[in-house]
């Protein structure tokens, strides 16, 4: 099993550009989430999905879109990049079971100039 795979690992965007961060998991996990991590602020939930076709907003959804057409994939779209979106983005997946936590991908470091 590859676990949670995120691509790309690094990305530089110009203000106003759009892009998609890819996330795929091969563990048949029903739950998937996107977090952003900024210094001193921990991980903040952007969007999450409880299964294929079902998504919902987290704490900081503005400027981002998601879709979940399959169980495996959960892409995050930046509609019009802004410098405030410079961050490290983590995708994570889980099953809703006791003693089962989220498995995180290795992250995408995004810089918007």
Partner 1 sequence: GQQVMQIPQYQHVQEGEDFTTYCNSSTTLSNIQWYKQRPGGHPVFLIQLVKSGEVKKQKRLTFQFGEAKKNSSLHITATQTTDVGTYFCAGRGTTDSWGKFQFGAGTQVVVTP
Q: Give the footprint of partner 1 on this chain (CB under 8 A).
A: 31-33, 35, 40-45, 48-50, 56, 58-59, 90, 92, 94, 96, 98-107
Characterize the bridge pairing of strands 10-13 and 108-112: parallel
Three-state DSSP at 84 gives helix
Residue 21 Ramachandran class (φ > 0 left, ψ -120 to 50 alpha, else beta): beta
Judged by beta carbon, residue 33 or residue 85, the one nearer partner 1 is 33
Judged by beta carbon, residue 78 or residue 89, the one nearer partner 1 is 89
Q: How far is the CB of 50 from partner 1 (least distance, A)?
A: 5
CA–CA dist 107, 109 (Å, integer): 7
Asked whether 35 and 94 are in contact (CB, 8 A), the reply is no
Q: How far is the CB of 17 from partner 1 (least distance, A)?
A: 25
Q: How far is the CB of 77 from partner 1 (least distance, A)?
A: 18
Judged by beta carbon, residue 5 or residue 17, the one nearer partner 1 is 5
């Amino acid at each position: 099993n590859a676990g949670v795979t995120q691509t790309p690992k690094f990305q530089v965007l110009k203000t106003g550009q759009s892009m998609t961060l890819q996330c795929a998991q091969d563990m048949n996990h029903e739950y998937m989430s996107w977090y952003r991590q900024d210094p001193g602020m921990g991980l903040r939930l952007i969007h999450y999905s409880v299964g294929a076709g079902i998504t919902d907003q987290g704490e900081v959804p503005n400027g981002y879109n998601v879709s979940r057409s399959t169980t495996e994939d959960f892409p995050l779209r930046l509609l019009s990049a802004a410098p405030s979106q410079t961050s490290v983005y983590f995708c994570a997946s889980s099953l809703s079971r006791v003693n089962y936590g989220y498995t995180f991908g290795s992250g995408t470091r995004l810089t918007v100039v």
